[in-house]
Chain A
């Protein structure tokens, strides 16, 4: 894991929804990215417990996945989500930031396959996991 440079940090600042949700890039590497999203009462989905709406967690994992695709060394061009499946494993504890890590585990000429995990305190106790397929354009080999 390496600290993101200014251009990589700007990823969340340039995407209006990421900015509205207060996301920040914390780590990037080849084909991986980690984003953090602060707790906010505006994002509550369950008023009785104060737990953040699943949609906000999906948005965080989708954004981390998008950046992970951009961070893939063979990526050239833009990306978009083709499909995303999210498993909600436990509610996110209220008043805590949520971190999401995404990685490209396989890439073909036109599709990147992603895995993402989201947690609050303990990475080994994820609140949600996602798998997805993303638009990918592989660089032509120059040999």
Chain B
């Protein structure tokens, strides 16, 4: 007996719907021009360049506060995504009710330490977060951000997050 394989479009529709509903719920992400690209379960945050993200108008560099926002957002969305994955793949998330409360609240930031390695250039920035530990209550997440070259980071951060009750196993 061969197990029926789920059609690819159904898989993509489910994953994209859950991811975009996490992202669309947060007005600040839209304000900052932060979007997410998905390859399987791997997320890449993108801070799409906009002149309003500039902090130093003389030499045109990204504002450190914008970079901090981007790293924090990438960490939160990646953490929420990692925690919802199993339930989502098991079909336990009501896709018809994503706006109405089928998704748990987002993790809350306890602290974040940002390392500014290079000036942010006036162009798109990318970030990937690694969940180094995800316990029942607390999670520790590391984020790396780059612009033109993946191996040349312009900022990195480590943060601790409080998991919402709904996400605790």
Query: Given the interface contacts A56-B69, A86-B68, A88-B108, does A44 sit within 8 Å of B28 by beta carbon?
Result: yes
- Which chain B residue lies CB-closest to A129? B111
Interface residues of A in 21-57 (CB under 8 A from B): 41-48, 52-56
A19 contacts chain B at the CB level, 8 A cutoff: yes
A84 contacts chain B at the CB level, 8 A cutoff: yes
Cβ–Cβ contact B110 & A59, under 8 A: no
Which chain A residues lie closer than 8 Å to B110 at the CB level?
87-88
A85 contacts chain B at the CB level, 8 A cutoff: yes
Which chain A residues lie closer than 8 Å to B93 at the CB level?
none
Cβ–Cβ contact B28 & A59, under 8 A: no
In the complex, A56→B70 CA distance in Å? 10
Q: What is the predominant secondary structure among interface residues of chain B facing chain A?
A: mixed
Query: Given the interface contacts A55-B69, A85-B112, does A19 sit within 8 Å of B28 by beta carbon?
Result: no
Cβ–Cβ contact A43 & B112, under 8 A: no
Q: Among A17, A47, A82, point to the contact of B25 (Cβ < 8 A).
A: A47
- Which chain A residue lies CB-closest to B118? A80
Shortest CB–CB separation between residue B103 and chain A, in angstroms?
10
B88 contacts chain A at the CB level, 8 A cutoff: no
Shortest CB–CB separation between residue A120 and chain B, in angstroms?
17
Q: Among A14, A41, A55, A87, point to the contact of B65 (Cβ < 8 A).
A: A55
Query: Given the interface contacts A48-B105, A81-B116, A84-B114, does A59 sit within 8 Å of B63 by beta carbon?
Result: yes
Which chain A residues lie closer than 8 Å to B112 at the CB level?
54, 58, 85-86, 88
Cβ–Cβ contact B63 & A16, under 8 A: yes
B54 contacts chain A at the CB level, 8 A cutoff: yes
Cβ–Cβ contact A81 & B64, under 8 A: yes
Contacts beyond the supplied A15-B55, A15-B57: 15 A-B pairs with Cβ under 8 Å: A15-B63, A17-B53, A44-B26, A45-B28, A46-B26, A53-B72, A54-B112, A59-B66, A61-B65, A63-B55, A81-B64, A83-B113, A83-B116, A84-B68, A85-B111
Q: List 27 A-B contacts (CB under 8 A).
A: A15-B54, A16-B53, A16-B57, A17-B54, A43-B28, A44-B27, A44-B28, A46-B108, A47-B26, A54-B109, A55-B72, A56-B28, A56-B69, A58-B112, A59-B66, A62-B68, A80-B56, A80-B64, A83-B113, A85-B111, A85-B112, A85-B113, A85-B114, A86-B109, A86-B113, A86-B114, A87-B110
| B contact set with A: CB distance below 8 Å | 25-28, 30-32, 51-57, 61, 63-66, 68-70, 72-73, 105-106, 108-116, 119
What 8 A-B pairs have minimum CB-CB distances, sorted nearest first? A59-B65, A55-B69, A53-B28, A17-B63, A81-B64, A58-B68, A20-B52, A62-B65
